[in-house]
Structure 1
Amino acid sequence: MITLSKIHKTFDSNQVLRGVDLQVPRGESMVIIGGSGTGKSICIKCILGLVTPDSGEIIVDGQNVETAERDAFLARFGMLFQGGALFDSMPIWQNVAFRLLRGGLKRPKAEAREIAIEKLRRVGLSPDVADLFPSELSGGMQKRVGLARAIAAEPEIIFFDEPTTGLDPIMSGVINELIREIVVEMGATAITITHDMSSVRAIADKVAMLHNGVIQWTGPVAQMDQSDDPYLTQFISGSAHGPIESVR
């Protein structure tokens, strides 16, 4: 579904991506791990066309990202943002139905509200939440609203940016389970960025480790713990000593 080939990206003198090669099969959940500042978010921005690579090619479902018609292309994606990114001045249902109230996906207001309430139910929130505002919700509830918004337009591809940041371990587990269930139900292709290894194990079909601007290791999540790659071993164990430390 998504193929990145020899992707390079430099900002001033900072060479962030140095030839990223990655394939994300249709209907699978790929989790990208790696240290802070290694370029995980830049990979997603390149796929979305928000950042243009210096060189290389990105193909989404047979279509080159750089030549795709923007509105139709972006309509295929859903996104759960790290900080929630809810609009404070809008009630929850309008946050969830944001894409359904404007642009090429526009629906009648009553229909958009009905879809929003249905998606809120799917993530475990009752209909009475629909008319509240983000400030009236806990962090975990806001994350669920963000997830409901990500799936409101039935996207084919969903990106999850640090989906459990700021949540306690129990709520993190709930969000991980919801993400896994929803991706499987929808048959969506998913890419998740996370530092949380419990999320990796709960969400991933496959894992890719980004380090020093390239994909250092990729494979099924079941093979992750048996890998003899020293970079991956150090990262998943959280050890302060190893090859990652030596290149800082």
Structure 2
Amino acid sequence: MTDALPPMIEMRHVAKAFGDKTVLRDVHLSIPRGTSMVIIGGSGSGKSVTLKCILGLIEPDAGQIFVDGHDMHEGDRDAFLARFGMLFQGGALFDSLPVWQNVAFRLLRGALKRPKREAREIAIEKLRRVGLTPDVADAFPAELSGGMQKRVGLARAIAADPEIIFFDEPTTGLDPIMAGVINDLIREIVTEMGATAMTITHDMSSVRAIADDVAMLHDGVIKWTGPVAEMDRAADPYLQQFIHGRAEGPIEAVR
């Protein structure tokens, strides 16, 4: 009988402060492989800092972060980052590059470098997967609508077939219909790839569409975590105030 596989991502006692402002106090979080975790919380609650700590873009002041059972500082840094894909808030496309080069950005350089023709073919296939036709490949980001740009960003996130995908506010700036399309695409793609996903958002429609599990981050700690199916009946007052958008409750509105 073999031991159970470790979580794909695990945070233990993670803390981070910037000067006299403490952002993360004592964060514990476990994301099983092949599942979709959504972290919710108000602006300034530490969601983006959590993501950046996992990627190694910010060094925690205390605690440990493990990826696939190994301390994130172990081994080759490039190999570590090659395991991740990322959909940035707002798309973050390179205006000076045609769409296919945006999608194939990591495949044209570094450890994942492929021949240019192969990289272009992969880019076009990923564009098809997110519902964009091959003629979009040679367009520039400025020629596309916001929804199309978001799809290009999603195609770029999956171009190298990553094991772990991060989604940073994936529906920001989109109308409700396009937001629903993006949520559905994310769910389908993560399931098809068998990837582990972590999303940070305050959009509750995204939470319900994308999540297997939800974690509520407030005041630097995880207040509640559990399956999305249990979210609505959970007793935690912080969670209930946030998901229902109530002005009254333990979370103080910033005025």
Q: How does 1:1-248 map to 2 (within 5 A)?
A: 1-245=8-252
The TM-score with structure 2 as length reference comes to 0.96
Counterpart AA for 2:54: I
State percent identity of aligned pairs: 77
SS of 1:227's partner is: coil
The alpha-carbon deviation at position 68 of structure 1 amounts to 3.3
State the alpha-carbon separation in 2 of the partners of residues 106 and 213 from structure 1.
39
State the alpha-carbon separation in 1 of the partners of residues 93 and 36 from structure 2.
25
SS of 2:58's partner is: coil
State the alpha-carbon separation in 2 of the partners of residues 20 and 54 from structure 1.
12
State the alpha-carbon separation in 2 of the partners of residues 36 and 247 from structure 1.
10
SS of 1:245's partner is: coil
The alpha-carbon deviation at position 11 of structure 1 amounts to 0.2
Counterpart AA for 1:124: G
The alpha-carbon deviation at position 83 of structure 1 amounts to 1.4
Counterpart AA for 1:3: E
Counterpart AA for 1:11: F
The TM-score with structure 1 as length reference comes to 0.99
State the alpha-carbon separation in 1 of the partners of residues 236 and 92 from structure 2.
36
Any gaps of 5 or more consecutive residues in structure 1? Answer: none
CA shift in 2, pair 1:114/1:246, >3 Å: closer
The alpha-carbon deviation at position 62 of structure 1 amounts to 1.5
State the alpha-carbon separation in 1 of the partners of residues 253 and 145 from structure 2.
40
State the alpha-carbon separation in 1 of the partners of residues 34 and 74 from structure 2.
24
Counterpart AA for 2:104: A
How many residue pairs match? The answer is 248
Residues 143-192 of structure 1 show CA distances to partners (whole Å, capped at 9, x for unaligned) of 00000000000000000000000000000000000000000000000000
RMSD: 1.1
The alpha-carbon deviation at position 63 of structure 1 amounts to 1.4
The alpha-carbon deviation at position 247 of structure 1 amounts to 9.4
The alpha-carbon deviation at position 246 of structure 1 amounts to 7.6
The alpha-carbon deviation at position 66 of structure 1 amounts to 2.1
